[in-house]
Chain A
């Protein structure tokens, strides 16, 4: 049944989104290939504006589409009056997010890659337990609305993640890293080499005293600073008034070395697609430029509420209405080589991984986290791993003064591109 047509006779505005995903997952558990899984998910979500009120519903049951129609109309009866306008068709830039090499990867090849990663890690840490998960898929999204949008795109996400556990008595080290892409990556082992490097470095244990010291964040560690910013830059938090950055566009909030960009148009990246999930073309959004706040991330609804245009950041799952989310979030690299940054530290901390990322009152910018992997830097050299150390602070204070941002940047956890960042002084708490 043509739901779009059917709903158009009953509502002023209609949006119908069809999603269809196929995925294959190969899992290595405790160094061995243990499970494989095939998934096929499909469903339809609909939004209507009826008598000025917005309604939403979804169904994964293709035989229950009549109930979808009833549900979405009932939802609109109770919905809020939102000045939302489903967009007219707009030309999107060409973004490569489908690479046939990914769906064509045979299961046997995925298993081979998994084994390669396990072997690589066991060669440096024979007693480690390695879990590897390899997932390749094809996602198809079709977005239609009454204004004529007929957006269709295909994506071919590939993710390879490895968790390494090393237990020595009561000392436990757990490391995780992953590759996330939508285009086949020739150097698919880069993330595993990073794990190997960290495992080697972590063999030497040392101690550090509590106190104030320079702290260097690695690309994975930088996330602890980036996450509160992501929350604060989210148009929903700006509209509702809880973002500390609300009303400060044009103000210099951070050090000159801080530039933050969201860009869903990069070929092959994990968060890329020609359109967002509301049929608005993705684009490059500069959020912070040389420390000056430039703008926020919006979907259609929060944009309408705030009286601005959608930035193409509407993101949804089948069963949830859209909300603003970053696509690929980039903290721009700087001008200092990493080696120079390390060489300039007399005594300090290198933060690689954080425990409890995102917990606590992060919208305020505050964080306080134990470090699951951190190293001590002494006289310009990384001298060993430190345990039972935590850091705390507020990003809105800390990022006012940044000593250096590295030339090198790294894509981590899929759609995040991060540099190394050196802060002049932070409070480090070590267990006595």
Chain B
């Protein structure tokens, strides 16, 4: 395969050419209620060629048949020539990497050597916890998934990376019903790890079941403006969704107005707010040695002491903006070219304990866990998985349907306390952008307090 890739690269007439070949084996076990929906293994093999003609544009060819790579290169080249650019498209230079990155998941823990029976038994044990927790639980969704991808990336700049990428995931979701009142809750765990990483997760199933049942008894929150304390999960999702996507420079590099809005040096928060993205931290979901253009990953500060100091780049956006490479060009699989994405994004720990944070709040909301979120640049909307009222400095009753909405700039400036209880979140799921979903990413954060948040509700 290596020889064929190199021969195809040599045949290219484009200014830059890259080839990525993937072979993925994946197993899925899914329970819905008491029924096993599927216990299956699939094989996915395919590739992508991307060519750049500097005064035209990008051309991309994706395919499943690996028979004629040279013809795919020609296809991508012809695509690239069809486009037209007024300015030359440059790529920031990177050192040519030659690497073979293999992973060892440990003796007896490599999920490729574990039988379907054992994987099914694990998922079933979590599913049984959900099903037997309460008679109010009418439905469950329990999922076990693993995938092992062998990929080869080679470019005309001399990079050749062969890499193994494992991923293992469990999801436990409970749906509780009382008459017309239907509530759901889920817990997940996922990492680039072995089978043992998702064993012993009974507590996750119990937490999901308990929360779904508790939500049945919760009142809908009364809409309005509140001081809100968000837990590390919601804080992590918030910083990723509401701020992180604006740091992806494909949003600013061709857009003068956006550049003005995201000008480096602008104050985004108070002095104690620091936000970074780091694709090089071992053991996290968004970590790789190299991004999908062959650029080494590293820590990139985005907000430091309240000031915007950096953003995330691909080779093209870094060259265009004259800023350093960050290693953030990523693709979910061979069906897509890499685009600027986050890796592991976090709010750095502060100094305040959770107790101090809620102490002074007369009427507020403690919102935990994220159910989903969307941003349209400066406007965002997130739903929390569960939430509680804060009354006179104490956590009070549970409330439901808590959706936080607002403007990013005012909201970041309204962060007035950052906790000392930082943690990385090993949640499954992932990030969607440009039709590429789900990309494995991680979030990290401590508890965070925000003043004057608009909460939708009745």
Which A residues fall within an 8 A CB radius of B?
Answer: 29-30, 32-43, 55-62, 64, 67-68, 71-72, 74-75, 77-80, 82, 107-108, 111, 127, 129, 165, 167-170, 172, 174, 236, 240-242, 244, 305, 319, 321, 355-361, 363-364, 366, 368-370, 372, 388, 390-393, 396, 427, 429, 431-432
Hey, which chain B residues are within 8 Å of A358, CB to CB? 372
Q: A71-B40, A319-B42, A356-B382 are in contact. Are A36 and B57 (CB under 8 A)?
A: yes
A60 near B44 (CB under 8 angstroms)?
A: yes
A240 near B456 (CB under 8 angstroms)?
A: no
Shortest CB distance B112–A (Å)? 13
A32 near B86 (CB under 8 angstroms)?
A: yes
Q: A355-B379, A388-B407, A390-B405 are in contact. Are A36 and B138 (CB under 8 A)?
A: no
| 8 Å CB interface, B382-402 against A | 382-383, 400-401
A392 near B139 (CB under 8 angstroms)?
A: no
Residue in B85, B138, B257 whose beta carbon sits within 8 Å of that of A168 in the complex = B257
Complex formed: what's the CA distance from A388 to B84 in Å?
Answer: 39
B177 near A242 (CB under 8 angstroms)?
A: yes
Interface check B376, CB cutoff 8 A: yes
Which B residues fall within an 8 A CB radius of A?
Answer: 23, 26, 29, 32-33, 35-46, 57-65, 75-76, 79-80, 82-86, 116-117, 120, 138-139, 175, 177, 180-184, 220, 223-225, 254-255, 257-258, 260-261, 335, 337, 371-383, 400-401, 403, 405-407, 409, 454, 456-458
Complex formed: what's the CA distance from A165 to B377 in Å?
Answer: 9
Hey, which chain B residues are within 8 Å of A29, CB to CB? 254
Hey, which chain B residues are within 8 Å of A368, CB to CB? 383, 401, 403, 456-457
* 20 further A-B pairs in the complex, CB-CB below 8 A; given A60-B45, A390-B405: A32-B86, A37-B79, A39-B61, A39-B335, A59-B44, A75-B41, A78-B36, A79-B38, A108-B82, A127-B257, A241-B138, A242-B139, A242-B177, A319-B44, A355-B375, A355-B380, A357-B374, A368-B457, A369-B403, A429-B223
Say what secondary structure dominates the interface of chain A: mixed
Q: Which residue from chain B places its CB closest to the CB of A45 in the assembled complex?
A: B42
Hey, which chain B residues are within 8 Å of A356, CB to CB? 372-374, 381-383, 403
Q: A35-B60, A360-B383 are in contact. Are A167 and B258 (CB under 8 A)?
A: yes
A242 near B182 (CB under 8 angstroms)?
A: yes
Complex formed: what's the CA distance from A29 to B41 in Å?
Answer: 38
A67 near B43 (CB under 8 angstroms)?
A: yes
Complex formed: what's the CA distance from A170 to B42 in Å?
Answer: 47
- Number of residue pairs A-B, CB distance < 8 angstroms: 263
A174 near B376 (CB under 8 angstroms)?
A: yes
Residue in B82, B116, B257 whose beta carbon sits within 8 Å of that of A36 in the complex = B82
B183 near A364 (CB under 8 angstroms)?
A: yes
Hey, which chain B residues are within 8 Å of A393, CB to CB? 458
Complex formed: what's the CA distance from A321 to B23 in Å?
Answer: 21
A40 near B64 (CB under 8 angstroms)?
A: yes
Q: A60-B46, A390-B456 are in contact. Are A41 and B60 (CB under 8 A)?
A: no
Hey, which chain B residues are within 8 Å of A38, CB to CB? 60-62, 75-76, 79
Q: A40-B65, A356-B403, A390-B456 are in contact. Are A30 and B254 (CB under 8 A)?
A: yes
Shortest CB distance A387–B (Å)? 8
Complex formed: what's the CA distance from A431 to B254 in Å?
Answer: 32
Hey, which chain A residues are within 8 Å of B57, CB to CB? 33-36
Hey, which chain B residues are within 8 Å of A40, CB to CB? 61-65
Complex formed: what's the CA distance from A82 to B36 in Å?
Answer: 9
Hey, which chain B residues are within 8 Å of A75, CB to CB? 38-41, 116
Hey, which chain B residues are within 8 Å of A129, CB to CB? 254-255, 257-258
B40 near A372 (CB under 8 angstroms)?
A: no
Hey, which chain A residues are within 8 Å of B225, CB to CB? 431-432
Shortest CB distance B63–A (Å)? 5
Shortest CB distance A49–B (Å)? 13
Hey, which chain B residues are within 8 Å of A396, CB to CB? 180
Residue in A62, A172, A432 whose beta carbon sits within 8 Å of that of B379 in the complex = A172
Hey, which chain A residues are within 8 Å of B37, CB to CB? 80, 321
Complex formed: what's the CA distance from A107 to B59 in Å?
Answer: 13
A361 near B60 (CB under 8 angstroms)?
A: no
Shortest CB distance A315–B (Å)? 15
B374 near A359 (CB under 8 angstroms)?
A: yes
B223 near A392 (CB under 8 angstroms)?
A: yes
Complex formed: what's the CA distance from A38 to B181 in Å?
Answer: 47
Say what secondary structure dominates the interface of chain B: strand
Residue in A37, A57, A165, A370 whose beta carbon sits within 8 Å of that of B255 in the complex = A165
Hey, which chain A residues are within 8 Å of B117, CB to CB? 78
B62 near A41 (CB under 8 angstroms)?
A: yes
Hey, which chain B residues are within 8 Å of A172, CB to CB? 261, 376-379
Which 9 pairs across A and B sit closest by C-beta, in order of nearness? A359-B372, A30-B254, A368-B456, A356-B381, A167-B257, A61-B45, A37-B60, A370-B405, A356-B374
Q: A39-B335, A57-B42, A363-B184 are in contact. Are A107 and B82 (CB under 8 A)?
A: yes
Shortest CB distance B22–A (Å)? 10
Listed residue (B80, B372, B382) with the most chain A CB atoms within 10 angstroms of its CB: B372
A360 near B372 (CB under 8 angstroms)?
A: yes
Hey, which chain B residues are within 8 Å of A59, CB to CB? 42-45
Hey, which chain A residues are within 8 Å of B120, CB to CB? 78
Hey, which chain B residues are within 8 Å of A78, CB to CB? 29, 36, 39, 116-117, 120
Hey, which chain B residues are within 8 Å of A32, CB to CB? 84-86, 254
Residue in B32, B175, B383 whose beta carbon sits within 8 Å of that of A359 in the complex = B383
Hey, which chain A residues are within 8 Å of B378, CB to CB? 170, 172
Shortest CB distance B329–A (Å)? 14
A62 near B377 (CB under 8 angstroms)?
A: no
Complex formed: what's the CA distance from A276 to B383 in Å?
Answer: 34
Shortest CB distance A271–B (Å)? 18
Can you give 19 A-B contacts (C-beta < 8 A)? A35-B337, A36-B58, A39-B63, A55-B40, A58-B43, A59-B42, A59-B43, A61-B43, A71-B40, A79-B38, A172-B376, A240-B138, A355-B405, A363-B184, A364-B182, A369-B381, A369-B456, A429-B454, A429-B457
Residue in A42, A364, A370 whose beta carbon sits within 8 Å of that of B381 in the complex = A370
Hey, which chain A residues are within 8 Å of B86, CB to CB? 32
Complex formed: what's the CA distance from A388 to B408 in Å?
Answer: 12
B82 near A111 (CB under 8 angstroms)?
A: yes
B457 near A392 (CB under 8 angstroms)?
A: yes
Shortest CB distance B327–A (Å)? 22
Listed residue (A56, A74, A360) with the most chain B CB atoms within 10 angstroms of its CB: A360
A35 near B83 (CB under 8 angstroms)?
A: yes
Hey, which chain A residues are within 8 Å of B85, CB to CB? 32, 34
Q: Which residue from chain A places its CB closest to the CB of B63 in the assembled complex?
A: A40
B255 near A61 (CB under 8 angstroms)?
A: no
Residue in A61, A165, A169, A427 whose beta carbon sits within 8 Å of that of B44 in the complex = A61
Hey, which chain A residues are within 8 Å of B76, CB to CB? 38
Hey, which chain B residues are within 8 Å of A242, CB to CB? 138-139, 175, 177, 182, 184
Complex formed: what's the CA distance from A127 to B376 in Å?
Answer: 18
Hey, which chain A residues are within 8 Å of B65, CB to CB? 40, 42, 62
Shortest CB distance A365–B (Å)? 8
Hey, which chain A residues are within 8 Å of B35, CB to CB? 80, 82, 305
Hey, which chain B residues are within 8 Å of A62, CB to CB? 64-65
A37 near B257 (CB under 8 angstroms)?
A: no
Q: Which residue from chain A places its CB closest to the CB of B25 in the assembled complex?
A: A67
Complex formed: what's the CA distance from A391 to B401 in Å?
Answer: 12
B401 near A360 (CB under 8 angstroms)?
A: yes
Listed residue (A32, A71, A78) with the most chain B CB atoms within 10 angstroms of its CB: A78
Hey, which chain A residues are within 8 Å of B33, CB to CB? 240-241
B379 near A60 (CB under 8 angstroms)?
A: no
Complex formed: what's the CA distance from A390 to B383 in Å?
Answer: 13
Shortest CB distance B147–A (Å)? 11
Hey, which chain B residues are within 8 Å of A108, CB to CB? 82
Complex formed: what's the CA distance from A371 to B407 in Å?
Answer: 12
